Amino acid sequence: DTGVSQNPRHKITKRGQNVTFRCDPISEHNRLYWYRQTLGQGPEFLTYFQNEAQLEKSRLLSDRFSAERPKGSFSTLEIQRTEQGDSAMYLCALTTPDSSEQFFGPGTRLTVL
């Protein structure tokens, strides 16, 4: 148990629909990261938060993607007008304040038909 839960674990949607994923840390962590991983590849950084502040966004994060961490605890990642190329595993990870070691959630597997 890494102390991170993600919901839903699986999401199947039709192209053009909006989807929202949620990441819940069990305890307080001040930095929260989102990554995207396609089959057989390493995760790619999308964005990260320090407390409520979104400090960096990857170029991978098009304007159809938005992430929030309203109270500095849980976070949501929304994809609007999904495309087939959005199909991937979306991973959330947390770190403790003085470390770069990341603890990953189980991920949300998105399939866009």
Partner 1 sequence: TQLLEQSPQFLSIQEGENLTVYCNSSSVFSSLQWYRQEPGEGPVLLVTVVTGGEVKKLKRLTFQFGDARKDSSLHITAAQTGDTGLYLCAGAHAGGTSYGKLTFGQGTILTVHP
- Using CA atoms, how far apart are residues 81 and 16, in angstroms rounded to an integer? 4
Q: Which of 18, 70, 67, 20 is nearest to 45 (CA)?
A: 67
75 forms part of the interface with partner 1 (CB under 8 A): no
Asked if omega into 8 is within 30° of 0 (cis), the reply is: yes
Cβ closer to partner 1: 80 or 95? 95
**Interacting stretch for partner 1, rule CB under 8 A, among 12-20, 61-69, 71-79, 89-97?**
89-97
Q: What one-letter code names the amino acid at 32?
A: L
Residue from the set 11, 19, 21, 43 that interacts with partner 1 by CB under 8 A: 43
Which residues in this chain contact partner 1 in the complex, by CB under 8 A? 2, 4, 31, 33, 35, 40-45, 48, 55-56, 91, 93, 95, 99-107, 109
